[in-house]
Amino acid sequence: MKIMHDDSYFSPDDLKAPHWDTGLVRRIMPYLARWRGHFLLSILLVLAGTAVQISLPYLLGKAVDQGLKQNNHEALLHYVLLYGSGHFMFFVLSAARNWLLQYTGQKVLHDLRNSLFNHLQKLPISFFDHTPTGRLVTRVTNDVATLAELFSAALVNVSGQILVLIGTAAMMMGLHFKLGAAALITSPILFAAAWFLKVRMREAFRLARAKLAMLNAVLAENISGMNVIQIYNQEAEREKKFDVMNTDLKKAELDSVFYNSFFFPAVTIVNALTMAIIIIYGGWLVQQSSISIGLLVAFIAYTQAFYDPVRQISEKVSIFQSSMASAERVFSLMDESPEPDLDEGKEFSSFEKAIEFSNFSFSYSPDKPIIKNLNLKIEKGQRIAIVGHTGAGKTTLASLLKRFYEYSQGQLSLDSVDLKAYSRSSIRRKIALIQQDVTIFSGNIKDNIFLEEGSYDEDKMQKIIAELEMQTLLDRLPNGLETEIFERGSNLSAGQRQLIAFCRALATDPEILILDEATSSVDSETESIIQRAVLRLTSNRTSLIIAHRLSTIQNCDRIIVLHNGRLVEEGTHEELLAAEGHYHKLYELQFSQSN
């Protein structure tokens, strides 16, 4: 477990209070527009459900007036049946609304997630250099989901609840204006109390959550560092420190409980106040014969139902807020500018003459030049080794040839045409880069060799197997090419992983091969397998090898010695040895080491 950035337990974002932002809402709209039919239908369902819902107390009142008061069994049956079927309709409508909302919400979520993911795939490598993977995964999964909740749960439900409130109020006023007004007189208190307390509850809750997250981060850290604590006899000290945070958390939680404890009592009291008004004033009206007893019953039922929407709305407000925060994060990622169109430019299909760097310089950041004034020509069919100390700029050269980074100083041409004139797609397909730490994807061996879906080609596979002499290695795997690879390739040896990387490169029929040799030592058997494979891989192919192995270096047509971004020596193995310069020293050492 890493101690430094433990996003899973604590994210400082928890502490931020988000705000409503119309600009963000406008950006969400296009995703909703695609499903406007579904949204329209769910709004219709909400409307119909609301209508049915607010007619129910009225029907109850009618049953009392027409049935009970008139001693009319038929009218009673009539209204009870209406009432019952009203409930059944409400059941159907709300189930349908719930389903449709979840369905549409998921569809919107899926679209959003895909467009964010697809956007990420188009961002330049430089973006990924400085953004941690974990953060991006959170954006694609959690933030998008929170954002999508805005549509399903919040947007439609809240408007539905507001409708119920308005409908109930209108119904009461319509049935009897004065009694309705009297009943509604307390509602501002209800809204004010709900709003006032909910704001505080949310704050207290957020604080408690942040404290919990911090405590958990500290816990995780202490458990990971337990041996250090125990060896230095620091148990008591750590326990004290932990207790301070634990107590802090307890206080925050108790605060949260405190505000929470006010909410329901407040609602109960306001509700009772309303009920008292209705009974006294309404009862008096009944006695004055201005209203029927059934209407009073309906009013009692309306009052009992008035509180629920208020509670639901105030709960949903927090969803709005967290969706806003997520929307902000998601859309700021969408604003990252992607690489230009990968297919734009000349198609690079076959390599004819040479790659040429002239007066070429490059740096990632202005103050740290990586490559300085490089002049280098690599001709077709050559096998070139690049050697030099770590940080000499070897790997950067490889990335530049793949057009992973933009450059501006000097010339880099391919067959006498500026590399920038070619389409990135064709360059990346035809110049294969084999990296030293092999990325393994989930799936089987085949999937990992033919990365492009559906590009598997049995003949080509057999050719590659023959060329790299890897049949014996395949035979060792339980299901050969179909063997499923575990997470991060843990069921493969280092050598097997390296071979997969070689096969992967050959599967695209590259014109130029760039090989970043692994520096890490492997056992001697693997070493010899890799050595043979590299030799076969690079013979008859233009290849650029960032070399660490003596055997590879000796077999190269030309050796380039880079130092601090400059080309310091260049020539064949013999020439460089005779020059007794930088390379000579390097060779002597390597040689003596292998003996």
Size of the site for another protein (CB under 8 A): 136
**Span from 5-13, 37-45, 157-165, 309-317 in contact with another protein (CB under 8 A):** 5-13
Alpha carbons 296 and 291: distance in angstroms, whole number: 8
Residue type at 200 in one-letter notation: R
Alpha carbons 583 and 367: distance in angstroms, whole number: 28
Buried b (16+ CB within 10 A) or exposed e, 470-509: beebeeebeeebebebeeebeebbbbbbbbbbbbbbbbbe
Q: Is 382 in the site for another protein (CB under 8 A)?
A: no
Instruction: State which of positions 165-204 bind another protein (CB under 8 A).
Output: none
Q: Is 307 in the site for another protein (CB under 8 A)?
A: no
Instruction: State which of positions 321-380 bind another protein (CB under 8 A).
Output: 342
**Span from 135-143, 355-363, 405-413, 550-558 in contact with another protein (CB under 8 A):** 135-143
Closest distance of CB 242 from another protein, Å: 5
Q: Evaluate the CA torsion angle 175, 177, 179, 183 in order and state its sign.
A: positive
- C-alpha distances in angstroms, 110 versus 41, 147, 336, 390, 442? 20, 11, 21, 44, 22
Closest distance of CB 221 from another protein, Å: 6
Q: Is 17 in the site for another protein (CB under 8 A)?
A: no
Q: Is 68 in the site for another protein (CB under 8 A)?
A: yes
* Structure token digits, residue 147: 């954002």
What angle, 0 to 180 degrees and rounded to 10, lies between the N-to-C axes of helices 494-506 and 524-538?
10
**Span from 18-26, 133-141, 320-328, 545-553 in contact with another protein (CB under 8 A):** 133-141
Q: Is 589 in the site for another protein (CB under 8 A)?
A: yes
Instruction: State which of positions 272-291 bind another protein (CB under 8 A).
Output: 272-273, 275-277, 279-280, 283-284, 286-287
Q: Is-contact 383 557, C-beta < 8 A? A: yes
Cβ nearer to another protein, comparing 25 with 550: 550
Burial of 231 (0-12, 13-18, 19+ CB in 10 A): exposed
Cβ nearer to another protein, comparing 504 with 558: 504
- Among 56, 54, 86, 39, which Cα is nearest to 164's? 54
Q: Is 114 in the site for another protein (CB under 8 A)?
A: yes
Instruction: State which of positions 406-445 bind another protein (CB under 8 A).
Output: 424-425, 428-429, 432-433, 435, 439, 441-442
Contacting another protein (CB under 8 A), which of 27, 346, 446, 582? 582
Mask: binding to another protein, 484-523, rule CB under 8 A, as x and -?
--------------------x---x---------------
Q: Is 76 in the site for another protein (CB under 8 A)?
A: yes
- C-alpha distances in angstroms, 412 versus 422, 514, 566? 12, 16, 16
CB atoms < 10 A from the CB of 266, how many?
Answer: 17
Contacting another protein (CB under 8 A), which of 126, 187, 222, 361? 222
Cβ nearer to another protein, comparing 308 with 575: 308
Q: Is 481 in the site for another protein (CB under 8 A)?
A: no
Contacting another protein (CB under 8 A), which of 200, 209, 532, 563? 563
Q: Is-contact 374 361, C-beta < 8 A? A: yes
CB atoms < 10 A from the CB of 230, how many?
Answer: 11
**Span from 110-118, 326-334, 370-378, 461-469 in contact with another protein (CB under 8 A):** 110-118
Closest distance of CB 63 from another protein, Å: 6
Instruction: State which of positions 447-466 bind another protein (CB under 8 A).
Output: 451-453
Q: Is-contact 179 285, C-beta < 8 A? A: yes
Phi then psi for residue 402, to 5 deg, are -80, 0
**Span from 322-330, 367-375, 446-454, 552-560 in contact with another protein (CB under 8 A):** 446-454
Alpha carbons 371 and 394: distance in angstroms, whole number: 9
**26 alpha-carbon distance from chain centroid:** 21
Alpha carbons 189 and 313: distance in angstroms, whole number: 16
